[in-house]
C-alpha cells in the first residue's frame, strides 16, 4: 500500500483519539484499534516507517501508539 495513504489513515485515527483527555489511554486505544482492525501487512508497513523520514509525517500521538504496538508485537 502507498506509505502516504497509510500515514493519512493512521493520522485520521489519531485525530479521533486526540479528543480524549487521557493521552496515555489514547495511545493505548490507537494501538489497540490498529492491532484489531488493520491487516498485519498494513501494520508492518507502518511500523517500518518508524525511525525513517516518513515518521515525521505521523502525528505524535500516532507515533507513540506505533512504538507501543511495536513493543506489544515483539513480546
pLDDT at site 24:
96
Look up residue 32 and give its three cell numbers.
489497540
12-24 CB burial, b ≥16 within 10 A, e <16: ebbeebeeeeeee
Model pTM score: 0.91
The count of structural domains within the chain is 1
The helix (run of H) or strand (run of E) holding residue 59 is none
How far apart are alpha carbons 66 and 31 in whole angstroms? 6
Q: pLDDT tens digits, the chain, 75 residues: what are they? A: 899 999 999 999 999 999 999 999 999 999 999 999 999 999 999 999 999 999 999 999 999 999 999 988 777
Domain that holds residue 58: 3-74
DSSP type of residue 16 = H
- CA distances 49 to 22, 25, 70, Å, are 26, 23, 12
Amino acid at each position: 500500500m502507498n506509505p502516504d495513504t497509510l500515514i493519512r489513515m493512521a493520522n485520521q485515527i489519531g485525530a479521533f483519539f486526540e479528543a480524549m483527555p487521557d493521552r496515555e489511554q489514547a495511545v493505548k486505544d490507537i494501538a489497540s484499534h490498529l492491532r484489531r482492525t488493520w491487516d498485519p501487512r498494513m501494520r508492518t508497513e507502518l511500523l517500518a516507517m518508524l525511525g525513517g523520514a516518513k515518521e515525521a509525517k505521523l502525528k505524535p500521538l500516532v507515533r507513540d501508539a506505533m512504538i507501543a504496538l511495536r513493543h506489544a508485537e515483539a513480546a
